[in-house]
Chain A
């Protein structure tokens, strides 16, 4: 009975967004999410009704048909009519449930004629966004967790959006149909934003797609929803939905910024420049496995300190970073820029006591890629 009460409670309550007592799906922000929300509410009521009917009968019987009340046992043991009835009624109920679900499925699958297409790539453990078509075409960046380690390790008070905040959110305009193409670089991840009614696995080597049209501006948060290794719990998705004008402005900013950031690939860099840059790249991409001290995690992630590859010929080192090593967690990092790879390789060869002493220039990476 307590169960029933709680079920009843949880169907009605809880609309507000991040509320510690949120009982229901988050407030829907797209047509699909809305349909899902309503469908879920309807189903809950149907289930509740069946539940009350079935257990009403059962508990009446439990209360009244007791030996201790002297109730004598009847001896009936089947009735074809009744059995046929209670086979057919559930079928009808299920048909009633399936009908709206079918309509929504067909709508969900309709990824045609989008305004903007964005390719989303899952990496261990961050998301990569490439705007492929539509306004903003050509923008490309990575998005990773921005919650500081100290908060996770309980060394600092936790911020409001603990674990649900990223350095660079995905920005999209409100009211526009956004098609998301998903793939992954290493293992399966899943890109999900509950408020927009979207969740889709990203399968390495394959393209999957989904779409959404946000109804309202706002910041919508989700998380990677497929176990993808040790930092699976730490790769949130943040989508910033903005007015079209704001979006245009954002696009313009991005374009100028990336033009400014582009480095002259033919330039020669000094060891110190590369090491400084490399340390940053390392911290952003490699540290989760190889650790800040380069020691890795014994048995799972190889140490780089004194490693044959990181102190041996340059080509092998560049090769493993660009192409990864199949069958291990060492994924290809060819999505990093020439500058980044050159920097991180140089860094690894000359940090933590590694003393290869050589410098890898971006031009060498460019050469290697050919």
Chain B
């Protein structure tokens, strides 16, 4: 591990980080103004976002070039592996907070609100899940698991297989299968996101299930929403990797860019399984 003596690549000064910081400066103010409905905010947000995209192209482009020109030795590769693992761990903790909120409300809050002492405040509340809470009387319906969500589960599981297939092809240097496998993976990813969007429409129009629908609505949309956002990001990352494959990047020995994204994809997959079980199924 650390025994390797050799040249560890330390990049020269770079403008990309500061570009990213400027982007976030705009986005931070932009977002804060936007959520308070100041028109200036939307503009700032858009500018910040544009700068961020520009930064990502520049930064990732630099990394890809450095990688292809053989600047990264084994030790650098090791760094990337540690880095990506802990990044994914931090994402797990982020989702953990939202799952925690879901469990907390179901296990502690609702029974408490429906409990004997709370009768002075909420006389008729029974606390059954799915619940919008004692103060929201509007009717809604919960999202059942066996329609679209089940199909989406299948889609994500399949994409987990295709990405593994692509990886295997890459290791055996079967570029054709690699391209196909990757293509299928991100295509499935985008289909998933599309179906998810359709499901939201259905929820709003037919089930009267909204962000504002109390505990159930909040956890449903935040969990599936953040997951959907991660699928989108993952799909875009896969797309980028696919372009790199088309451009002839990666070798059977050296392809951490690919692997990192594949790890991320599996993580997104696993989170979905958690969602499927706890958000859709066990209601």
Which among B120, B122, B134, B135 is the interface contact of A181 at CB below 8 angstroms? Answer: B120
Contact stretch, chosen from A81-89, A102-110, A204-212, A339-347: A204-212
Contact stretch, chosen from B18-26, B111-119, B186-194: B111-119
- The residues of A that contact B135 with a CB separation of less than 8 Å are 205
**A207 to B134 alpha-carbon distance, docked (Å):** 14
B247 contacts chain A at the CB level, 8 A cutoff: no
B121 contacts chain A at the CB level, 8 A cutoff: yes
CB-CB contacts of B123-158 with A at 8 A, as 1s and 0s? Answer: 000000000001100000000000000000000000
A206 and B112 form a contact (CB under 8 A): yes
**A207 to B120 alpha-carbon distance, docked (Å):** 8
Instruction: Report the interface size for chain A: residues with CB under 8 A from the other chain.
Output: 8
Q: Is the interface of A mostly helix, strand, loop or mixed?
A: strand
B113 and A206 form a contact (CB under 8 A): yes
CB-CB contacts of A171-187 with B at 8 A, as 1s and 0s? Answer: 00000000001010000
A205 and B117 form a contact (CB under 8 A): no
- 8 Å CB interface, B70-125 against A: 112-113, 117-118, 120-122
CB-CB contacts of A119-138 with B at 8 A, as 1s and 0s? Answer: 10000000000001000000
- The residues of B that contact A207 with a CB separation of less than 8 Å are 117-118, 120-121
Question: Which B residue's beta carbon lies closest to that of A326?
Answer: B135
Instruction: Report the interface size for chain B: residues with CB under 8 A from the other chain.
Output: 9
- The residues of B that contact A183 with a CB separation of less than 8 Å are 120-121
Asked if A119 meets B120 with Cβ closer than 8 Å, knowing A205-B113, A206-B113, the reply is yes
- The residues of B that contact A119 with a CB separation of less than 8 Å are 120
**A93 to B121 alpha-carbon distance, docked (Å):** 44
**A181 to B122 alpha-carbon distance, docked (Å):** 15
**A209 to B118 alpha-carbon distance, docked (Å):** 11
- 8 Å CB interface, B159-200 against A: none
- The residues of A that contact B121 with a CB separation of less than 8 Å are 183, 205-207
A181 and B117 form a contact (CB under 8 A): yes
Which among B112, B113, B117, B122 is the interface contact of A209 at CB below 8 angstroms? Answer: B117
**A118 to B31 alpha-carbon distance, docked (Å):** 46
**A119 to B119 alpha-carbon distance, docked (Å):** 13
- The residues of A that contact B112 with a CB separation of less than 8 Å are 206
Question: Which B residue's beta carbon lies closest to that of A111?
Answer: B117
Min CB–CB distance B210 → chain A (angstroms): 15
CB-CB contacts of A313-333 with B at 8 A, as 1s and 0s? Answer: 000000000000000000000
- The residues of A that contact B120 with a CB separation of less than 8 Å are 119, 132, 181, 183, 207
**A164 to B10 alpha-carbon distance, docked (Å):** 64
**A205 to B115 alpha-carbon distance, docked (Å):** 12
Question: Which B residue's beta carbon lies closest to that of A204?
Answer: B121
Min CB–CB distance A302 → chain B (angstroms): 15
**A145 to B135 alpha-carbon distance, docked (Å):** 31
Min CB–CB distance B61 → chain A (angstroms): 43
**A205 to B113 alpha-carbon distance, docked (Å):** 8
Min CB–CB distance A137 → chain B (angstroms): 14
- The residues of A that contact B113 with a CB separation of less than 8 Å are 205-206
- 8 Å CB interface, A42-92 against B: none
Question: Which A residue's beta carbon lies closest to that of B135?
Answer: A205
**A132 to B119 alpha-carbon distance, docked (Å):** 13
- In the A-B complex, list the 3 residue pairs whose CB atoms are closest, starting with the nearest: A207-B117, A207-B118, A207-B121
20 A-B pairs in the complex with CB atoms less than 8 angstroms apart: A119-B120, A132-B120, A181-B117, A181-B120, A183-B120, A183-B121, A205-B113, A205-B121, A205-B122, A205-B134, A205-B135, A206-B112, A206-B113, A206-B118, A206-B121, A207-B117, A207-B118, A207-B120, A207-B121, A209-B117
B interface, CB within 8 angstroms of A: 112-113, 117-118, 120-122, 134-135
A-B contacts besides A183-B121, A205-B135, A207-B121, 9 pairs, CB < 8 Å: A119-B120, A132-B120, A205-B113, A205-B121, A205-B134, A206-B112, A206-B121, A207-B117, A209-B117
A interface, CB within 8 angstroms of B: 119, 132, 181, 183, 205-207, 209
